[in-house]
Amino acid sequence: MSETYLVEPDVGFIKEVGKLGGQDLKKCFQCATCSVACPISPDNKPFPRKEMIAASWGLKDRLIGNADIWLCHNCGDCSTLCPRGAKPADVLSAIRAYAVTEYATPRALGKMVNDPSKLPILLAIPVAIFLVVGLILKMFGVNWLNFAPTGDELWQADYISNYLVDIIMVPTFFAAIGVFALGLKRFLADIHANALLEGKTTQKKIEPVGFVQALIKTVPTIMKHGRFTECGENKERATAHMMVLFGFIGLFIVTGAFFAAEWVFHIEGPYSQINPFKWLGNLGGIALIIGGILMIAKRMGQKDQVTSYKDWYLIGLVLLLGGTGLLTEMLRLGGMYGLMALVYVLHLIFVWALFAYTPFSKLAHLVYRTVAMTYAEYAGRK
Amino acid sequence: MTSENKAPASGSIVVVGGGISGLTTAIEAAEVGYEVYLLEKNPYLGGRVAQLNQYFPKLCPPTCGLEINFRRIKDNPRIKVFTQAQVEKVEGTPGSYNVAVRLNPRYVNERCTCCGECAKACGTEISNEFNFGMDTHKGAHLPFEMAFPPRFVLSQQIIGTDDAQKAKAACKYDAIDLEMQPKTMNLQAGAIVWATGWEPYDAGRIDNLGFGQYDNIITNMMMERLASPNGPTQGKIVRPSDQKAPQNIGFVQCAGSRDENHLPYCSYICCMASLKQATYLRERYPDANIYIFYIDLRTPGQRYETFYKKIKEDKKVFFIKGKVAEVIEDPATKNITVVAENAVTGEKIKQTVDLVVLATGMQPTAANTKLPADLKYNPDGFILNDYEKGGMFAAGCAHKPADVVSSNQNATGMALKAIQTLARK
């Protein structure tokens, strides 16, 4: 060895990875079965064997800025063949959760999102925001929050005006984008530096044009779930993930359309059930629920996979978003307005949580994995 | 031995298993004056060692070691050997056991001269398990040339067929007795030593290593038979698919060993076995390249370490730190590409070879067939020795994975433990 390297283990990092689902990390004896078992690992510096030893040694800096942890799609082929039950798939998943909190500012919020005891506080925040903003506006005569509306046919906006919802949700959404943007700036610099250090890239620096071209190439792979279907163990998982992803995309389109209807065209809801956007919304909600249930079933049936809080948080959010959304609609159609309002409040809490906490939760993978896959494409990592 | 020095033999010892450990226990106990019954389920003694081409690290043929032991048995009237014998029931307590033994018929009596006429008369070919099914033998056969007792045996499956009659007719010495029936006998013994040995782990269960799917993937024990002068190829190491000499050979260490999905423990001998087998190949094929894929090379002790260092000097033997986790066969050439990550360089290696040897480990016989006695086992099926209770002891690989040297040392120790049980009675 011509190069000397002083190992500075970050014991706190090792412990944290254990808490996030990587508790079997230390069983690894570096046989490298995992790197071969992985169907999507490249030939040059394959993962996850090198990540396993880096994590064992607490080399945090080599991991959180390592794009390879995001190339992993957590199919579990490596954990199935692992002779030690060290569960590399879960270790990578835990490292990803750690990386998410590292790149999202404020870091304290990331820690809270990963801590089940802080969940009530996190959910109380949107309640407080709605109450405070609603009541302040009331003082100025803007009646966007109504605790007991009257009328024969009510809908949720009679209780909580869509304008109130929008003036809270829209800034939250853009704040989340802002958090992502800040994180991504560091993330991109880090993964490039790491790739240069480990000899994983042919590119000297990141050229925006080339990177965007790589992104254009990567998006269809993501949409088609190309990487998922390469996996051996859990091929069916692609279906569940596809339902949830497309469910979210559909609902995002619907939300945008109704936002435009409200603010630009001033067409007030509730919209007709035969409105195609309504169809898309209903389909999206159903897709979330079925996809979420499939994910739970899959995780329950999987013996060599750890499911920790970060995973339940996301699946729970998916199910609750779809469930409260559809239930609000059903209660409205059934004329049970009081109950509808209550469920709608819950729905708004979850929607706000979705927007606000995405950069801090497992859902952040939608950004980091996309960028990491794009970088791999750009860097010619095969 | 004078009568004053004779040990106070008050009871006999039953040794179950006639492999190297059982032989050692039986002979050591008998040579200090104890009565020993040696029970072996096969028609011959010698067990797994009889299947080897050479011992490591001295690279001498195992038959010479076995021969000395056979000689000692022949010379010692205190050892009663029963082949084709299976223990059916053990009752009693330390110092006084009643052992029920089933003796399966050999159909050949002591008049056999090993002339081989009976085998010539037989037509049916039977898969030769001694050679792991790589060739066949006749319904009447001698397990191998050095078999002890030196006597032919008739396979159960030809009994009642024409072949059996033809074999009997061909025998000039009236050595074939088709009327032999299974017998049961009861032995009284003060102590029992279980030397039930091991079986090669079933490589077909390691899905990702292709054994049983691809012709040119063999196990290390098959390699021993291929290299043996008395093996299916008379010592020529050739690929099963086309009987051609291999140019590139890959060894896959820890095939099904140190693996929770298979055998969670290290079998102790496979690293040395592969290094030894590398010498078989390099001796026969001076241009051959050997690729040894390993997790850790375990060559315990100074002698084994020296052996490893010597092999490492060979420029045609390549050591790659990384376990093979995938094999691909080229259907045209039947060559095998093994895939591993070289953990030192961090590169994935796809090495195409002509022949792959899986270094499979040893599984205790008791893991697959529970023994009919009150014994304790560890989760892997190795017998745990309860010295407090005494009376019954496990020796050799029935107790833990071991090489021949350690097995013999352990077997000698267990002979002493058995003797102590008798002496304390």
* Predicted complex ipTM: 0.88
CB contact under 8 A, B348 and A85: no
Q: Is B226 helix (H, G, I), strand (E, B) or coil?
A: helix
Query: Looking at the complex, does the CB of residue A46 fall below 8 Å from at least one CB of chain B?
Result: yes
Q: Is A243 helix (H, G, I), strand (E, B) or coil?
A: helix
Site of tokens 């942890």:
A69
Specify the DSSP class assigned to residue B137: E
A44 CB neighbours in chain B (<8 A) are 346-348
CB contact under 8 A, A41 and B208: no
Specify the DSSP class assigned to residue B382: P
Confidence check: pLDDT of A156 > 80: yes
A29, A36, A81: residue with CB nearest B348: A36
Topology classification of domain B202-360: FAD/NAD(P)-binding domain (3.50.50)
Residue from A378, A379, A380 nearest A211 by CA: A378
Confidence check: pLDDT of A65 > 60: yes
A46 CB neighbours in chain B (<8 A) are 341, 346, 348
Mean pLDDT confidence for B132-143: 96
CB contact under 8 A, B323 and A33: yes
Query: Looking at the complex, does the CB of residue B328 fall below 8 Å from at least one CB of chain A?
Result: no
Confidence check: pLDDT of A231 > 50: yes
User: What's residue B5's pLDDT?
Assistant: 40
What is the longest distance spanned by two Cα atoms in chain A?
82
B321 CB neighbours in chain A (<8 A) are 32
Topology classification of domain B12-104+182-198+363-424: FAD/NAD(P)-binding domain (3.50.50)
> Residue A224 is encoded by which pair of tokens?
């088609």
d(CA B181, CA B186): 16
Domain positions in chain A are 11-107, 109-378
Higher pLDDT, A267 or A173: A173
Residue type, A124: A
Looking at chain B, the whole-number percentage of residues with pLDDT higher than 70 is 97
A48 CB neighbours in chain B (<8 A) are none
B260 CB neighbours in chain A (<8 A) are 82-85
Closest residue on chain B to A83 (Cα): B259
Query: Looking at the complex, does the CB of residue B284 fall below 8 Å from at least one CB of chain A?
Result: no
Domain positions in chain B are 12-104+182-198+363-424, 117-170, 202-360
A33 CB neighbours in chain B (<8 A) are 323, 325
d(CA A125, CA B103): 81
Q: Is B80 helix (H, G, I), strand (E, B) or coil?
A: strand
Mutate to test the interface with A, among B260, B320, B341 (most CBs of A within 10 A): B341
Chain segment A283-336, per-residue pLDDT in tens: 999 999 999 999 999 999 888 889 999 999 999 999 999 999 999 999 999 999
Give yes or no for a contact between B92 and B419, defined as CB atoms under 8 angstroms apart. no
Name the region of A361 (left: φ>0; alpha: ψ -120 to 50; beta: rest). Answer: beta
d(CA B60, CA B69): 16
Confidence check: pLDDT of B239 > 80: yes
Closest residue on chain B to A41 (Cα): B348
CB contact under 8 A, B295 and A31: yes
Confidence check: pLDDT of B136 > 50: yes
- Average model confidence (pLDDT) for chain B? 95
User: What's residue A151's pLDDT?
Assistant: 85
User: CB neighbours of A69 closer than 8 A, spacing ≥ 6?
Assistant: A47, A48, A51, A63, A92, A95, A96, A99, A372
Number of Cβ atoms within 10 Å of the Cβ of B82: 18
CB contact under 8 A, B295 and A36: no
Number of Cβ atoms within 10 Å of the Cβ of B243: 9
A37 CB neighbours in chain B (<8 A) are 208, 325-326
Q: What are phi and psi of A215, to 5 degrees?
A: -65, -40
d(CA A363, CA B143): 66
How far is CA B383 from each of CA B99, B194, B292, rounded to the nearest angstrom?
18, 9, 32
Mean pLDDT confidence for A47-74: 95
A76 CB neighbours in chain B (<8 A) are none
User: What's residue B3's pLDDT?
Assistant: 42
d(CA B149, CA A151): 104
A29, A35, A83: residue with CB nearest B341: A35
This prediction has a pTM of 0.92
A32, A81, A83: residue with CB nearest B343: A32
User: What's residue B9's pLDDT?
Assistant: 43
Give yes or no for a contact between B147 and B44, defined as CB atoms under 8 angstroms apart. yes
d(CA B206, CA B261): 9
d(CA A291, CA A293): 6
Confidence check: pLDDT of B401 > 90: yes
> Residue B151 is encoded by which pair of tokens?
């006597």
User: CB neighbours of B181 closer than 8 A, spacing ≥ 6?
Assistant: B105
Give yes or no for a contact between B352 and B333, defined as CB atoms under 8 angstroms apart. no
> Residue B195 is encoded by which pair of tokens?
């030397």
Residue from B168, B261, B274 nearest B222 by CA: B274
Q: Is the dihedral of CA A240, A245, A246, A251 positive or negative?
A: positive
Kindly report the nearest CA distance between residue A232 and chain B, in angstroms.
12
Q: A with B: how many residue pairs have Cβ under 8 Å apart?
A: 69
Residue type, B63: T
User: What's residue B6's pLDDT?
Assistant: 43
Kindly report the nearest CA distance between residue A214 and chain B, in angstroms.
25
Q: Which residues of B311-341 are buried (b: 16+ CB within 10 A; e: fewer)?
A: beeeeebebbbbbbbbbebeeeebbbbbbbb
d(CA B273, CA B255): 13
> Residue A210 is encoded by which pair of tokens?
């080339």
User: What's residue B63's pLDDT?
Assistant: 85
User: Strand pairing of B383-384 and B376-377?
Assistant: antiparallel
Kindly report the nearest CA distance between residue A91 and chain B, in angstroms.
18
Chain segment B160-170, per-residue pLDDT in tens: 999 999 999 99
CB contact under 8 A, A32 and B260: no
Confidence check: pLDDT of B222 > 60: yes
Give yes or no for a contact between B7 and B32, defined as CB atoms under 8 angstroms apart. yes
Mutate to test the interface with B, among A24, A30, A33 (most CBs of B within 10 A): A33
Give yes or no for a contact between A382 and A202, defined as CB atoms under 8 angstroms apart. no
User: What's residue A167's pLDDT?
Assistant: 94
Site of tokens 């032989």:
B23
A43 CB neighbours in chain B (<8 A) are 347-348, 350
Q: Which residues pair with B349 in a beta bridge?
A: B340
- B 196-225: CB under 8 A from A: 208
Specify the DSSP class assigned to residue A272: P
Confidence check: pLDDT of B7 > 60: no
CB contact under 8 A, A31 and B323: yes
User: What's residue A4's pLDDT?
Assistant: 80
Confidence check: pLDDT of A373 > 70: yes
Closest residue on chain B to A47 (Cα): B346
d(CA A98, CA A248): 24
Q: Which CATH architecture has domain A11-107?
A: Orthogonal Bundle (1.10)
d(CA A312, CA A361): 11
State the pLDDT confidence band at B8, using cuts at 50, 70 and 90: very low
B262 CB neighbours in chain A (<8 A) are 83
Give yes or no for a contact between A48 and A92, defined as CB atoms under 8 angstroms apart. yes
Mutate to test the interface with A, among B207, B252, B348 (most CBs of A within 10 A): B348
Mean pLDDT confidence for B236-261: 97
CB contact under 8 A, A36 and B259: no
Confidence check: pLDDT of B21 > 50: yes
d(CA B267, CA B295): 13
User: Strand pairing of B79-82 and B217-219?
Assistant: unpaired
Cis, bond preceding A270 (omega within 30 deg of 0)? yes
> Residue A80 is encoded by which pair of tokens?
């199935």
A36 CB neighbours in chain B (<8 A) are 322-326, 339-341, 348
Chain segment B298-329, per-residue pLDDT in tens: 999 999 999 999 999 999 999 999 999 999 99
User: Strand pairing of B125-127 and B136-138?
Assistant: antiparallel
User: Strand pairing of B355-360 and B248-255?
Assistant: parallel
CATH topology identical between B12-104+182-198+363-424 and B202-360: yes
Question: Which run of H or of E encompasses A140?
Answer: none
Query: Looking at the complex, does the CB of residue B347 fall below 8 Å from at least one CB of chain A?
Result: yes
d(CA A209, CA A374): 12
User: Strand pairing of B198-200 and B217-219?
Assistant: unpaired
Closest residue on chain A to B342 (Cα): A32
Torsion over CA of B267, B268, B274 and B279, rounded to 10 degrees? Answer: -150
> Residue B344 is encoded by which pair of tokens?
């030192």
User: What's residue A54's pLDDT?
Assistant: 96
Kindly report the nearest CA distance between residue B292 and chain A, in angstroms.
14
User: What's residue B1's pLDDT?
Assistant: 40
User: What's residue A235's pLDDT?
Assistant: 77
State the pLDDT confidence band at A262, using cuts at 50, 70 and 90: confident
User: What's residue B10's pLDDT?
Assistant: 57
A30, A83, A84: residue with CB nearest B343: A30
User: What's residue A2's pLDDT?
Assistant: 61
